[in-house]
């Protein structure tokens, strides 16, 4: 029952141990901010540099940090790290506003850790994701809100331009499937907050993600996932989450209205709910892929990722978690207990997290771990917004 699931989220209290871990992580993050308002991950060539003040601020890392501040109860108006968030938002707005149209990427920085591993377009993708997130909150300054919307539209246009003919994203880095899944999320989120998104681009993207998973054999193509099953599965699971949720919601509604006897998601039930045959087929495919890939993504051997954690493992865990949260049910609690236990245990003494290969950056890894540990806040926020709009 959906209302029961909603109560689970609303009533869920972050365990004390996790609260303490988040607090330490935020303290470290606040101190790690650069004078220009941004945060940086550093270059791929110098993965050994772990001092956040010895690297240049980049849009991808700054966006991740800003999203982690938002998710841990900081807004532009309130919260212990509200000032940090304001400065970070200003840094990102200037990056977009000062970026010439003929410049292929959002930043002239090259070979940053996020770019090499997650693709050259990762800066604009994560920046768009942050802008869509902040637009879900009340922004009292009308002029600032307009700037954010305008910057988001510019980011969306750049993301759409970077799509390849097969529905993936160009210049994908070491694990291109992750960049493509994140691009898909950014466009879906922008669409959710009412910005104009090209449906053809989104459809191509969803098709590409679906093509990475075979429901018959329950296997994922790992060619574009650097051979790591975790990356492929988390990408597919996250990219199919919205469609899978839509399928479940339609069937639940049809059962309530007495159109069908049970709320199992089948093509037949979707048609009975009033969905045209080709759309019902597509939704059913997304639902099947999401459920199968989610099950696989929770396997212990898959959770091991590369064997030890780098920033892209943390990013994969985050995408899997977001997908599980979107679907509701009891799986998220099981996943959260396992994941939060794991992350609290590997936190550094100073409150940060860092990777042991590839993306080693403590800024990138700390932001991603904070996003994972506070993941349920997002769900509680979404439900409160949903209740507001229904009243």
For residue 359, what are the contacts with CB-CB under 8 A and spacing of at least 6? 41, 113, 114, 117, 118, 310, 311, 312, 365
The model's confidence at residue 300, banded by pLDDT at 50, 70 and 90, is: low
User: What is the structure's pLDDT at 219?
Assistant: 47
d(CA 66, CA 100): 24
User: What is the structure's pLDDT at 35?
Assistant: 97
Read off the pLDDT of residues 283-297 as tens digits, 9 standing for 90 and up. 777 777 667 656 655
User: What is the structure's pLDDT at 176?
Assistant: 64
Per the rule left: phi > 0, alpha: psi between -120 and 50, beta: everything else, 202 is: alpha
For the cut 50, the answer to whether the pLDDT of residue 262 exceeds it is yes
Between 167 and 301, where is the model more confident? 167
The three state secondary structure string of 173-206 is: CCCHHHHHHHHHHHHHHHHHCCCCCCHHHHHHHH
Read off the pLDDT of residues 215-258 as tens digits, 9 standing for 90 and up. 454 444 444 433 344 454 555 566 566 777 788 888 888 888 88
Read off the pLDDT of residues 55-99 as tens digits, 9 standing for 90 and up. 999 999 999 999 999 999 999 999 999 999 999 999 999 999 999
């Amino acid at each position: 029952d959906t209302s029961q699931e909603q109560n689970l989220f609303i009533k869920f209290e972050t365990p004390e141990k996790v609260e303490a871990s988040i607090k330490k992580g935020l303290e470290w993050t606040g101190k790690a901010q650069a004078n220009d308002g941004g945060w940086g991950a550093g270059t791929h060539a110098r993965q050994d540099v772990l001092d956040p003040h010895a690297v240049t601020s980049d849009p991808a890392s700054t966006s991740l940090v800003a999203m982690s501040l938002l998710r841990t109860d900081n807004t532009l108006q309130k919260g212990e790290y509200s000032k940090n968030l304001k400065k970070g938002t200003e840094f990102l707005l200037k990056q977009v506003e000062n970026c010439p149209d003929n410049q292929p990427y959002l930043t002239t920085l090259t070979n940053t850790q996020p770019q090499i591993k997650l693709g050259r377009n990762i800066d604009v993708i994560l920046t768009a994701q942050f802008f869509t997130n902040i637009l879900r909150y009340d922004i009292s300054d009308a002029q600032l809100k307009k700037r954010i919307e305008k910057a988001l539209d510019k980011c969306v246009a750049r993301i759409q331009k970077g799509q390849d003919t097969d529905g993936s994203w160009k210049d994908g880095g070491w694990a291109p499937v992750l960049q493509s899944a994140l691009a898909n999320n950014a466009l879906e989120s922008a669409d959710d907050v009412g910005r104009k998104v090209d449906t053809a681009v989104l459809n191509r993207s969803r098709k590409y993600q679906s093509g990475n998973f075979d429901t018959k054999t329950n296997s994922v193509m790992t060619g574009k996932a650097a051979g790591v099953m975790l990356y492929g599965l988390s990408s597919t699971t996250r990219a199919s989450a919205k469609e899978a949720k839509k399928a479940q919601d339609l069937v639940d509604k049809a059962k309530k209205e007495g159109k069908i006897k049970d709320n199992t998601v089948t093509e037949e039930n979707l048609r009975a709910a009033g969905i045209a045959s080709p759309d019902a087929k597509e939704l059913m495919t997304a639902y099947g892929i999401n459920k199968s890939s989610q099950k696989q993504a929770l396997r212990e051997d898959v959770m091991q990722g590369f064997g030890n954690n780098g920033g892209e493992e943390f990013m994969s865990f985050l995408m899997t978690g977001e997908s599980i949260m979107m679907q509701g049910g009891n799986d998220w609690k099981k996943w959260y207990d396992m994941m939060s236990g794991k992350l609290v245990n590997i936190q550094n003494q100073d409150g940060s997290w860092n990777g042991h290969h590839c993306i080693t950056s403590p800024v990138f890894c700390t932001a991603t771990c904070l996003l994972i540990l506070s993941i349920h806040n997002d769900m509680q926020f979404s439900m409160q917004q949903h209740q507001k709009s229904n009243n």
